[in-house]
Amino acid sequence: MPTLHQEDLIQTAENLYGTTGFFVSYQSSSGDTLPIRPAAPVHPSQLAIEQEWPTPDTTPLLYTLKDGTAYLFIPVLDQGQYRIGPVLLQSALFRAHIQDETFHQFYKSLTRTTENRLIDCAHLVYRLLTGQQLVARDIRTESESDDPEIPLIADVPPHTATTAYIKAWEREQQIIEWIASGQSERLATTYSLPAYGEFGSLARHQPLRAEKNLLLGTVLLSARAAITGGLEPDEAFMLSDRMIESIEAATSISELRNRHVRITVSFAEAVKQIQELRHSPHVLAAIRYIQQHLYDPLSVSSISQAIHVSSNYLSVLFKEETGLPLARYVIRERIREAKRLLRSTDDSLLTISNKLHFSSQSHFSQAFKQTTGETPTHYRQHHF
């Protein structure tokens, strides 16, 4: 392979960043670095892997950390190596309520991706640098965690893709429910950002167009969920139009970073405002407490204590505003969650019954049929 000049090394790195959003650095065999822009952020933990890069080998190395941060080292034969990263793996759930501000800002600055997309990147860059095809099993993996080795594309069992799509669908259903119920705080703190290319691309050779297409899909789903939650269609469509204009005006992927979360939170906030107009503060507080504690024991007494009002006052007020007794509302919400579990998991009826604190499987089945008109078994057979 001919020696690459400094300008070529920098241009390759910056083009790779522009295409993928991954930070790229370079270190020569003698330890010298290049002024590649933008500079990669430094992990707040002052990691040894950042201060002392691994010795270059003939094949790429994928290195992952316990917190979900990952680095990909790709050799430039006889010259040095590129380091792609840090990136944040899609399997790591980013939480916006991280207490340490330094870590908070660091994680926010990272591009989210998957192990498989990093593997794809290794194949591409290796081919560009050497003109040779890289075999998947030649990519080395190391990790500071005790978790099983990250599977490479060639090693993934046939059922993995199906499982991934099921999990993606389940996640989508959860997000839709959070939007429809106005739970913007949950979306802001626990929404796992979609990674470009995780389940395919809607414009494979145009990364910016692909990201815009994914965002447009998020807008459509979010708008429908918000309408289900009580937002007037005209308001939902007006909000959608503003978001679509902003998305289409973007000229780089970096402008669209974190936009998925912002879209869902905006629609959830709109639903939340409608709910606040519809219900008094105490009833709204009770509803939100129930939504956040479906897997915990719930009673009129525990809910009223949690929101600091008397049980009798809350019971009367809740029935007046919602038309349902508080205990009946709790059962309805638990049945709604049970429907989601029946659709997206293989948990037994007994397991679901115990998770959602029904007194018995028989009680669960009776409440389910009374609420939905069908048994849990029949529902699963027609919706799983």
pLDDT tens digits, one per residue of 225-234: 998 888 888 8
Identify whether residues 18 and 134 lie together within a single domain: yes
Residue 162: inside a domain = no
- Exposure of 2 by Cβ count < 10 A (0-12 exposed, 13-18 middle, 19+ buried)? exposed
Divide the 384 residues of the chain into consecutive groups of 10 and give the mean pLDDT of each group: 80 83 89 88 85 86 84 89 85 46 76 79 85 75 54 42 56 84 75 44 64 86 88 85 88 76 88 80 87 90 92 93 91 90 86 93 93 91 73
In this structure, the answer to whether residues 187 and 220 fall within a common structural domain is yes
Burial 128-151 (b: 16+ CB within 10 A, else e): ebeeeebeeeebebeeeeeeeebe
Asked whether residue 171 is domain-assigned, the answer is no
Q: How many CB atoms lie within 10 A of CB 338?
A: 25
Please report where in the chains the tokens 């960043």 appear, as a residue: 17
- Specify if 275 maps to a domain: no
- Is the residue at 273 inside a domain? no
pLDDT of residue 189: 61
Give the up-direction half-sphere exposure of residue 150: CA atoms within 13 A in the CB hemisphere. 28
- Residues 99, 124: one domain? yes
Do residue 309 and residue 190 come from a single domain?
Answer: no
CATH code (residue 344): 1.10.10.60
Residues 323-344 pLDDT 10s: 889 999 999 989 988 988 888 7
Dist CA 290 CA 303 (whole Å): 8
pTM for the model stands at: 0.43
Burial class (CB in 10 A: 0-12, 13-18, 19+), 155: exposed
Average pLDDT, the chain: 80
Residues 287 and 355 in one domain: yes
End-to-end CA distance of the chain: 54
Q: Do residue 180 and residue 86 come from a single domain?
A: no
Domain count, the chain: 3
361 is in which domain, residue-wise? Answer: 281-383
17 and 108 share one domain: yes
Residues 290 and 261 in one domain: no
Taking the C-alpha atoms of residue 176 and residue 306, their distance in angstroms, rounded to an integer, is 26
Residue 271 lies in a domain: no
